[in-house]
Structure formats: C-alpha cells, structure tokens
Amino acid sequence: MKFDIKFDAIGRFLQPKTPPLIGVDISSSAVKFVELEDAGKGRYRIERYVIEPLQKDAVVDGNIVNLDQVSDSFKRGWKKLNSRVRNVALALPAAAVITKKISVPAGQREDELELQVETEANQYIPFALEEVNLDFQVLGPSPTSADDVEVLIAASRKEKIEDRVAAAEAAGLKAIVVDIESYATQAAFELIARELPEGGVDQTIAIVDVGTSMMNVNILRNGESVYLREQPFGGQQLTQEIQRHFGLTPEEAEIAKRNGGLPENYESEVLQPFMDNLALEVARVLQFFYTSTQYSSVDRILLAGGCAAIPDLDGAVSRRTQVSTVVANPFSQMDVSSKIRPRQLQLDAPSLLVACGLALRRFDPS
C-alpha cells in the first residue's frame, strides 16, 4: 500500500540531495518568498526575498478563501524575486494539521508500518482517510518501551494542501515540500538560538508571532515544542483603531500605519494603547502556559511577525511580562546579498521566520 501523499514533508521529512528551493509563506496579509544560498564554512547567505501583499480576506484563519487573488500575488512576488529556482517549500498552519505520536513495534517493513499507521490514524483523524493526505516519520526508539519505536503521524485535509499547491503552480512553480508553520518556525529559531546564552540549552523560549489577525505562540524547550496557542489578536486591531480615530478608510489606515504621516497624537492615543494591549495578551498566554503545564517560568520571549517592527514593542512586552524580550531576526548571522538593503531586511526579518525556516529545507541532510 502506498499513500497518495503530496503532504510529503513534515518537520524535516526530505529526500537526500534536496534541489534548490525557495521558502514561501502564505500568511493572511502577504505571500513571502525567501531564497538562501550556501555561503560555505557552515554559513548561509540570504540571496533574495520578497513580501508581496495580499488583498484583504484572500486568506482568512490560514485558509485560502480567494485562490485567484492568492495566485496573482504569487505571480507578482515571483516576478519581483527574479530567481531561476522554481521549486518551493510551502507550509500549513498548525491548526490545519493533526499530529500524533504513537509507539509501534520496532523492525517492521515499510509496507507493514504504513498499514499500521493507517490503522492508528483512523482513531485520531475525524475525517475519512480518502479525504486527507497522511504522512509519518519514525522519530527513534520509544521512550517507554525498548521493543518499540516512536512514530509521528501527520494528516491534513487534501483541499488545504491542494489550494496552496495550486497557487504555486499558477505562478509556474513546483511545490516539492509541504511543512507545518510551527516546524518551519522552529527551524528558523535554530539560527537565532546560536546567539542566546548557552545556545538556548535548557531554556524555555516563547516565540510570539503577531500577524494581521492572530497571535501564534510556540514555546520551545531544547528544540522541542512544549506549548502551542493561537490568540485572536493582531495588527489589524491597530489598523482599525487608526481608521476610527482619524476618520480614514481601511486602505488609508493601513498605508498610514506602514508609511507614517499620522498626526502627533497618534503615538500617545493610538499606538501606545495598542502596544499595551498586545503586551497584556502575551502575558495572558504565558499565564495559560503556566497553569496548563508543568512550567512556571519563561526565560526569553522572541517577538516575530509584522508587529514586531514597532519601535520599543519588545520593551513594552518585557515590562508587562517581566521576561527578557527581543525581536527575532534569523538572518543576523547570515551573509547578505548585494541585492538586498540590510536596513530594510532588519525591519522585515521578524515577519520572515516561517519563510526562512522553509528555505532552510534546502540544506536538510536527511
């Protein structure tokens, strides 16, 4: 038996000698492209990147609602990227993927393992198996039995994957990897961890990605995710407040938010209250984390997403949570192509975590 899988990569599922590829993150506000190169001596170079805006509501809650609009943004972004690489790595939101770790007897043939995975998957997946793409990976020896191995099962509704693949194909690109956003974030975090004290070992790190409408929190301990949560809060709240406060249209408010030019009272009456609310939401998520897990503290917060570029947002979050907070930049130790403006990259970096993690799949050794 063979699974009909386009969902051919979960975490670090890849074939040897992965061809060059581009990481593409389809968020609710933009399609983001990142291409990395091997710079030698264990270093990477960011060769090019593009953030191509999406029409409002083209993607809602991680679901592609208007495939034509997403495909058009894909085409425009690909043209601006000006790359010869046509293979792409895509990702699904964690909420669109069901994952489960199971233990199975060691030493099984691949066809036996596939059959057992399918049987186990029936227990955990609330859809008919013909409606999903299913993948699995043997993680290693079971922590509870010497005779078993631990296997990660992952499944997603076929249409979730097919919509993303179709958007890429409309731009003449080939999706060779489909990953999970939280896994891609963890891959990018490995670059950032090198700059943390002791490389982040034995530290509890909260990655807080504040997007347009959703705050995604992924809390890591020694490279493993120990807590995931989505909180309905994001940059659109700031846009709506600008719109209300200054009598602008949604489009005008969005442009003013990005480019400036708002009245002097903007910072004190609109921006600062938004930052305070955002910091409060982060504090609430941490409280949920403490009350629902064995953990009672977080060592560091990494801010990601478009909102992370707001000046002193890291300070506001740190003051509210009493946790050291920094803005995430996975490119800080990379070489930078002459085609890229370093200052602009620094501003954009926090919103490129997922795309960077996907681009790193090119270098997976497995």
> Which residue spans within the chain are E strands per DSSP?
22-26, 30-40, 43-53, 59-60, 63-64, 87-92, 98-105, 132-141, 148-157, 174-180, 204-210, 215-221, 224-231, 300-304, 325-327, 335-336
Give yes or no: residues 183 and 49 share one domain.
Answer: yes
Number of domains in the chain: 2
**156, part of any domain:** yes
Q: In whole angstroms, what is the distance from residue 218 CA to residue 225 CA?
A: 7
Digit-coded pLDDT (tens) for 233-274: 999 999 999 999 999 998 899 889 888 889 999 999 999 999
Cα 57 to chain center, whole Å? 19
**34, part of any domain:** yes
**350, part of any domain:** yes
Sign of CA dihedral 32, 37, 39, 44: positive
Digit-coded pLDDT (tens) for 142-182: 888 888 999 888 888 899 999 999 999 999 999 998 999 99
Digit-coded pLDDT (tens) for 102-129: 888 998 888 888 888 888 888 888 888 8
**131, part of any domain:** yes
Query: Which residues have C-beta within 8 Å of that of residue 110, sequence separation ≥ 6?
Result: none
Using a cut of 0.85, tell me whether the model's pTM lies above it.
yes
User: Residue 176: in which H helix or E strand, if any?
Assistant: strand 174-180
Quick one: which of 3, 1, 2 has its CA closest to 158? 3
Domain that includes residue 313, residue range:
196-327
Question: Are the C-beta atoms of residues 164 and 179 closer than 8 Å to each other?
Answer: no
Q: What is the CA radius of gyration of the chain?
A: 21
